[in-house]
Structure 1
Amino acid sequence: MVNLQNKRYDVIIIGGAIMGSSTAFWLASNPDFDGSVLVIEKDSTYQDSSTARSNCCIRQQFSTPENIQISQFGIHFVKNVADYLSVDDERPELSFVESGYLFLANSDVEASLKEAFETQKRLGVKDVIWQTPQQLAERYTWLNTHNLTGATLGIHNEGWFDPYSLLQAFKRKARSLKVDYLQDEVVSLKTKNGKVEEVVTKNSGSFSCGSIVNVAGPRARFIAEMAGLELPVSSRKRSVFVFKSQEPVDMKPLIIDPDGMYVRREGETFICGQQPDEDNDPECLDLEVDYPFFEERLWPKLAELVPAFEAIKMVSAWAGHYEMNMMDHNALLGLLAGMDNFYCCNGFSGHGLQQSPAAGRAISELITYGEYRTLDLSRLSTSRLQTGKKVQEVYVV
């Protein structure tokens, strides 16, 4: 519990899900940082958070070099999570399923997929291989390879894990390192001379601060507006559908078709989804599932991709939110122009959970040292909002 007698913190983190708890952990575990940290989270159950509603997959197959490097550290962190986040004798278990990703190409996307593949190899990714249509047909007899021109397959170091377990492990470790957590809602920010001086909560009063970190996920833009700042991060709803197949399909990797639809196995069922067309993807904060999207859009594509999926039955569904960076679909990291102590860690556009180990570490380095000490993520700086220089990620799933 927070000692409410303490009304000043060196760092106040707004948002206590995966990104906020990662940042808190990295700050508190760094011997060069000796400040106090408060994490404010309005819903400590996290039931509606993007973290809890994530598919929680991790991949090295990106087009942006920084995202590839972030994932290389991320997979190391996931596989060695107990070395980082154990508390006493309690070792976190993330139930990591290392089944890989399979990105399918047709003539429209083959060139960009090959370009990303070459970038991955240049950065030392050794676990992704190119597959010809013939190799795909031999490896996956249930897959319709007609109109496919190739694919990239992650053999190792890609898969999925339990997002809630990682969140709780970050939080438990941060609290063991004397980070305070407060369940409350931030309602305003008091600023003076280009700095945020106080964070005002709904039920617990005000807290003065040295710096704040905006990790409010889909609501990040609203936190920025409290400080009179603009942040091009928008909440976009994504529906996830669970179905059973009447015919057995021995699907191992997560598959992404040339249009961006994904499908993967989950026990005896399968999970699928896809981003809507841009014209049908408004800013949205509700969590109502778009059931017609499955019937009208996904099922026909599933049946074309895997003929056995002609006979399937949807058994459940849920919806969550992506915090979309509307500029270039990549993270916005660092101080936001206009405030000298307002740090952003936003706009991950659907790959935030898998990037949380590296992103939290990056923000903690900026706060502690004023520079990056591990991965150089300078190109993902918020400064590109002023320069207009995009760092475009092609593979947003």
Structure 2
Amino acid sequence: MTAERAEVVIVGGGAVGSAAAYFLAAEPGFDGRVVVVERDPTYARASTPLSAGGIRQQFSIRENVEIGLFAREFIGRAGELLAVDGEAPDLGFVEGGYLFLAPPEGRAILAENHAVQTAAGAAIAWLEPDGLAARFPWLNVDGLAAGAFGERGEGWLDPNTLLQSFKRKARALGAEYRTDEVVAIERSGGGVEAVRLASGDRIECGTVLVAAGANAGAVARLAGVALPVGPRIRTIYQIDCREPLPLLPLTIDPSGVFVRPEGKGYICGVSPPEDQDPESWEIEVDWRWFEEVVWPALAHRVPAFEAVKLTGAWAGPYDYNALDQNAVIGRHPTIGNLLFATGFSGHGLQQSPAAGRAVMELVVHGGYRTIDLSRFGIERIFENRPLKERNVV
């Protein structure tokens, strides 16, 4: 068994873990060794490459809005920030916007969310039904009371390119990636002393970051921490439509069904109700939701979608926080060198730049220097204080 030491051990090399590795390695005030332990470097069962790649600011919690604003700023500079040997990544960002639609009973909540977003500096347009019909003539506005449209800063990108760009740049700056699995977290006194790997290696550490995505709950248990984060499976369907739709943003129907352009076609999906959404690692496409929920909702809201062809689908896991579907970011209150950045519940890709920067600030500066993410701390989990986000997609 090999003994070694790292200033920071990151458990999980997906978008969030790799963003943390990048921000640590790029920080002038930090020169410690960073080791990222990732059990599957192909990311075949990881959340990031299987996501829809959305970037938005339309949230109901101000910190989430600010996280989204930073994501857009970072993506705009990614070619510069994540370039390696003069080769700049192309994330393929499409600034297509998000369009949230509300029925009469949801109008007040949409208005409250809109006020939070615009107060934080997001460019979100408020549209009455007449305005929706004029701006999006393909939209059936029956039953709608209002809509909110992201005019700037929202859209989608290639999720795997962002992940690989974070990873490549982090490694170029000195972060090390280990293909292995953490099987034990050794504690001593008030902190973590070391992690043990499946290979038999043992790494002593100054800080451990749990960024293991859908596996984070299992990793946390190795340290004796109960964290309600586990895998929930989401299916994304691919469709073709005979009638091309101009200016289609990522549109969210009041039913929760979403659709957006992808290449010459479209992708769409919906989150199942809680009582039909078990924790599972069975990554299989669930076709029933398309026939029973997704297509009927799309055909009603966008008449052109009455005639679509289902061309494919894929499924992937979310690191689902069962308490409130919001991220868990920050230090453990009594295990001082144990940090968390997980539980993003489908928002990990777009929140990875801000989460990575936040982890760096906690490690290097001992506290948040930019966005104060204290409300996302694990203390709320222990105290059963949900931090509810109204705009969950």
Whether TM-score is above 0.5 comes out as: yes
- In 2, are the aligned partners of 1:251 and 1:264 still within 8 Å (CA)? no
> Deviation of residue 234 (structure 1)?
2.4
Q: Say yes or no: does 1:166 pair with 2:162.
A: yes
Q: Say yes or no: does 1:68 pair with 2:65.
A: yes
Q: Say yes or no: does 1:104 pair with 2:101.
A: yes
Q: Which residue of 2 aligns with 1:300?
A: 296
- In 1, are the aligned partners of 2:3 and 2:202 still within 8 Å (CA)? no
2:10 is aligned, of 6, 10, 13, to 13
- In 1, are the aligned partners of 2:48 and 2:159 still within 8 Å (CA)? yes
Q: Say yes or no: does 1:202 pair with 2:186.
A: no
CA distance in 1, matches of 2:326, 2:243: 39
CA distance in 2, matches of 1:193, 1:9: 19
> Deviation of residue 338 (structure 1)?
4.2
**Which piece of structure 1 moves more, 145-154 or 336-345?**
336-345
**Which piece of structure 1 moves more, 231-240 or 13-22?**
231-240
CA distance in 1, matches of 2:50, 2:76: 22
Q: Say yes or no: does 1:115 pair with 2:86.
A: no
Give 5+ residue unaligned stretches, structure 1.
Answer: none
Q: Which residue of 2 aligns with 1:396?
A: 392
Q: Say yes or no: does 1:217 pair with 2:213.
A: yes
Please give the residue correspondences for 1:1-397 in structure 2 after superposition, counting only pairs within 5 Å: 7-125=4-122, 127-397=123-393
CA distance in 2, matches of 1:371, 1:150: 40
> Deviation of residue 204 (structure 1)?
4.7
- In 1, are the aligned partners of 2:2 and 2:202 still within 8 Å (CA)? no
> Deviation of residue 248 (structure 1)?
2.7
Q: Deviations over 1:55-105 (max 9, x none)?
A: 111011110000000111110000111221111211111011011011001
% same residue: 46
Change (3 A) 1:168 1:204: farther
- How many residues end up aligned between the 2 structures? 393
What's the TM-score, normalizing by structure 2?
0.97
CA distance in 1, matches of 2:243, 2:161: 32
SS of residue matched to 2:48? coil
- In 2, are the aligned partners of 1:142 and 1:307 still within 8 Å (CA)? yes
Q: Deviations over 1:294-346 (max 9, x none)?
A: 11111111111111111111111001111122222211111124422110001
Q: Deviations over 1:262-316 (max 9, x none)?
A: 1011121110011001110010112100011111111111111111111111111
> Deviation of residue 6 (structure 1)?
6.8
> Deviation of residue 108 (structure 1)?
2.0
> Deviation of residue 171 (structure 1)?
0.8
- In 1, are the aligned partners of 2:255 and 2:297 still within 8 Å (CA)? no
CA distance in 2, matches of 1:204, 1:373: 38
SS of residue matched to 2:346? coil
**Which piece of structure 1 moves more, 272-281 or 242-251?**
242-251
CA distance in 2, matches of 1:226, 1:43: 19
CA distance in 1, matches of 2:277, 2:344: 17
One-letter identity of the residue aligned with 1:371: G
- In 2, are the aligned partners of 1:53 and 1:320 still within 8 Å (CA)? yes
One-letter identity of the residue aligned with 1:91: A
CA distance in 2, matches of 1:288, 1:342: 33
One-letter identity of the residue aligned with 1:13: I
CA distance in 1, matches of 2:319, 2:298: 26
One-letter identity of the residue aligned with 2:184: S
Cα RMSD of the aligned pairs, angstroms, is 1.4
SS of residue matched to 2:104? coil
CA distance in 1, matches of 2:375, 2:21: 23
> Deviation of residue 191 (structure 1)?
1.7
CA distance in 2, matches of 1:377, 1:349: 16
- In 2, are the aligned partners of 1:332 and 1:381 still within 8 Å (CA)? yes
Give 5+ residue unaligned stretches, structure 2.
Answer: none
**Which piece of structure 1 moves more, 363-372 or 246-255?**
246-255
SS of residue matched to 1:7? strand
CA distance in 2, matches of 1:228, 1:389: 20
SS of residue matched to 1:334? strand
> Deviation of residue 386 (structure 1)?
3.4
> Deviation of residue 154 (structure 1)?
0.8
What's the TM-score, normalizing by structure 1?
0.96
Runs of 4+ displaced beyond 4 Å: none
- In 2, are the aligned partners of 1:100 and 1:153 still within 8 Å (CA)? yes
